[in-house]
Chains A and B, each alone.
Chain A
Amino acid sequence: MSPGSMSPGSMSSAREQILARIRAAAGAGAAGGGPSGADVDAAYAALPREYLRAHHHQDITDLFAERAADYRAVVERVTQAGLVHAIARVLTDRAAEVAAASFVVPAGVPAEWLAELPASITLTNDTPPLLAAELDRSAGVLTACAVAIAETGTIILDHGPGQGRRALTLLPDFHLVVVGSDQVAADLADAFARLDPARPHTLISGPSATSDIELIRVEGVHGPRNLHVLLVAKT
């Protein structure tokens, strides 16, 4: 228990009171409740789910490319052989654009991805962890991803190897992400089934945006204002 919380007595009484009120509410807890309640789970399993598992079944990779681009991500299709060259080109262009050459590359990014980088590009890994201000000053970040969703043009990071902790893909103003065709799920159902809920996740659909002024979408607020996707074809 943390030092800042309410005293255990008052906390547990709030907890018990709320649970008691829920059980008293007509119809609630009728199945007997309890955290293991098998009858609750049986009722849950019987709920209607007549929606589609996926809205598209063909050309999933094309659909992902199209829909990610819809939200102003820059999407490039590359071959496995062309990936290394594309990474070097994109980072070099970015460095020239912002006159900064230091990119963040988390642990687990395959060494061969970085094979063609020119000497002018410097790479920083996150060991020991970079300060927020250092991430903020970097020219960008290069990562892999966990899963992508074609239907919505979404990239999902589970912040595992090659993706880095969450701040790494948040503070730099430029995010280059490599998506393999086999990572593209058709729709939400398939994508969520592939993920481990214990991990932290970030779902990314285009660069940061806002609709707060007159409900008009404007790209570029706090998250990376530039999202560049390299979509790698199956070999």
Chain B
Amino acid sequence: MTPPEQAGPHPGMPTYLGMPSFPVAAKTAVADSQLRRNLAHATHTIRVKRAGAVGELADWQELRAAAKAIKDHTLAHLDTYLVRLEQNVTKAGGHVHWAQDAAEANAIVAGLVRAAGADRVVKVKSMATQETGLNEALAADGIGALETDLAELIVQLGHDLPSHILVPAIHKNRAEIREIFLREMPDAPPDLTDDPRMLAAAARAHLRQAFLSAQVGVSGANFAIAETGSLVVVESEGNGRMCVTLPQTLISVVGIEKILPTWRDLEVFLALLPRSSTAERMNPYTSIWTGVTPGDGPADFHLVLLDNGRTTALADQIGRQALRCIRCSACLNVCPVYERTGGHAYGSPYPGPIGAIISPQLRGISSPVDASLPFASTLCGACYEVCPVAINIPEALVYLRGKVVDAKREKHFSPERTVFHASGLVLRSPALLAAAQRAAAVGGRLVARSGRIRRLPPPLSGWTDTRDAPAPPPESFRAWWARTRGSQPRGSRPRRSRR
């Protein structure tokens, strides 16, 4: 697919420009049977494995409760912990920068890259820099950014957009990935097959020279430890180790909510994160560094602390729980909506259930896609159940729905509101209700096909565009009760005395 253009210079998080509201984008996605097969296969595989990895720990719920408590405590004292982190990073020889929004963060990074005399950077997969649109901002400054995570590389080479937090190319299967490599990777072996092993080897060969000659690395971080000034990057392939070890300059862009109070807290979060995300007891590689270490790794380390809407979410008592998120993506993998639509329909670097509550908070609810995201859910609660930091996503979704409706109420005439107003009048009057039900029985028969109403004329089409309704029965319950008093052929019903 051709990715929608990303927004140009924008102080906040880029909305993918031209992104329609969720139901419109979802309709296209759901019609793509290849996409649905790829997603169903991947999400079902990981669901089963995750359940196994989590089931192995008898104290999963206690770990989850501890993680939630640690994160809530940290968010309640975020100023204290950020200042502590800043002090300890500085003490260990690093530099700390503060960015209020995406534009500030991108400008800081571009300035640091230029100061290092470089015109390209190697990047570890990072949600924070996806959020700020860093690659596009650097490109506008004449700086090339090379994504080194395999899935990010697939997305970058395919001129595509990420569709999953952990596996950004989850919407592509092996055959499609092979085609992208053959088309876009000049050094891809001509006899490349779609064997995942061979595809991974091709990526290794393709990126090797870039790693060896890189001057500047850009990363995010999974955790930042206030007590020690340590940063933690969790990964699988070793591209993260390359990016945080080999270049002379390392720049880490980290959301202010990524902070943990102490070193000890890693015993909780490193138990929860790998099992929730890749269903492993532990991911292959975790890098932890504290400032700079003479003779080992980068000589110049910069931490960019990113707000970009997080303090707005923090001020919201219900919305702030989204800031506990550790980006494991377990909620995406269990979501019946995500499984069918994929990540692109969410119009944000953060797709799935967590994206549906993070994006509208970080970006506001003024765009059609952000206003539609809180409704992109069946509220089944599977996301809450698997969340390792116990974010009550359904609660937050319902709350955000309320905010969207309130915002609409202030502005527009709403057919929905008119209908509900009329329903209120009818439901208050037994006589009106009986009349309405008789009318519905007749009217419903006229528009229904095979017992379902599939399409109503505007303004009622808003209801039937995305769902069928059952045709009203020929007789309402109240009418049936009035006629029979509930009596059935004798013997089929226990006798009951009349009140």
Contacts and interface: CB of A to CB of B under 8 A. Distances in A.
A90 interface: no
Closest 3 interchain pairs by CB? A223-B238, A4-B115, A222-B238
B350 to A, nearest CB: 18
A195 to B, nearest CB: 8
Q: By CB atoms of chain B within 10 A, which of A71, A213, A215, A224 has the most?
A: A213
Interface string A1-42: 111111000010011011101111111111101110100100
Nearest to B277: A211
Nearest to B241: A170
B209 to A, nearest CB: 9
B131 interface: no
A133 interface: yes
A218 interface: yes
Given A200-B290, A215-B42, A223 B263 contact: no
A31 to B, nearest CB: 6
Interface in B268-287: 268, 270-271, 278, 280-287
25 contacts: A2-B115, A21-B312, A22-B78, A22-B79, A26-B315, A31-B76, A33-B77, A37-B77, A44-B73, A47-B70, A71-B284, A153-B281, A165-B295, A188-B267, A192-B266, A192-B267, A197-B230, A200-B290, A200-B293, A200-B297, A202-B285, A203-B286, A205-B280, A212-B154, A220-B200
B297 A165 contact: yes
B21 interface: no
Contacts of B201: 220
Contacts of A187: 267
A3 B201 CA distance: 39
Given A5-B108, A212-B169, A19 B66 contact: no
B42 A214 contact: yes
Contacts of B46: 215
Contacts of A4: 111-116
Interface residues of A, number: 88
B170 interface: yes
B212 A209 contact: no
Contacts of A136: 208, 212
Contacts of A130: none
B59 A200 contact: no
A36 B425 CA distance: 61
B284 A208 contact: yes
Given A2-B300, A205-B284, A21 B59 contact: no
Given A14-B99, A205-B283, A170 B289 contact: no
B236 A208 contact: yes
Contacts of A48: 62, 65-66, 69
Contacts of B284: 71, 204-209, 223
Contacts of B204: 220-222
Interface in A182-235: 187-189, 192-193, 195, 197-218, 220-224
Contact of A167 (B100, B200, B245): B245
B270 A222 contact: no
B58 A55 contact: yes
Nearest to A173: B204
Contacts of A166: 241, 245, 287, 296-297
Contacts of A217: 278, 280
B238 A170 contact: yes
B132 to A, nearest CB: 14
A132 interface: yes
Contacts of B296: 159, 165-167, 200
Interface string B66-82: 10011001011111111
A218 B196 contact: yes
A154 B282 contact: yes
B236 A3 contact: no
Given A197-B290, A215-B46, A47 B73 contact: yes
Contacts, number: 298
Q: By CB atoms of chain B within 10 A, which of A22, A212, A218 has the most?
A: A212
A101 B151 CA distance: 34
A226 B288 CA distance: 22
B141 to A, nearest CB: 12
B331 to A, nearest CB: 15
B192 to A, nearest CB: 13
Given A212-B154, A214-B174, 10 more contacts: A5-B111, A5-B302, A50-B59, A189-B267, A200-B293, A204-B284, A205-B280, A213-B169, A214-B38, A215-B43
A221 B107 contact: no
A28 B312 CA distance: 12
Interface in A152-180: 152-154, 159, 165-167, 170-171
Contact of A208 (B111, B282, B285): B285
Nearest to B243: A222
Given A48-B69, A49-B66, A51-B62, A152 B281 contact: yes
A199 B41 contact: no
B228 interface: yes
B188 interface: no
A7 B30 CA distance: 49
Contacts of A44: 73, 261-262
Contacts of A15: 98
B25 interface: no
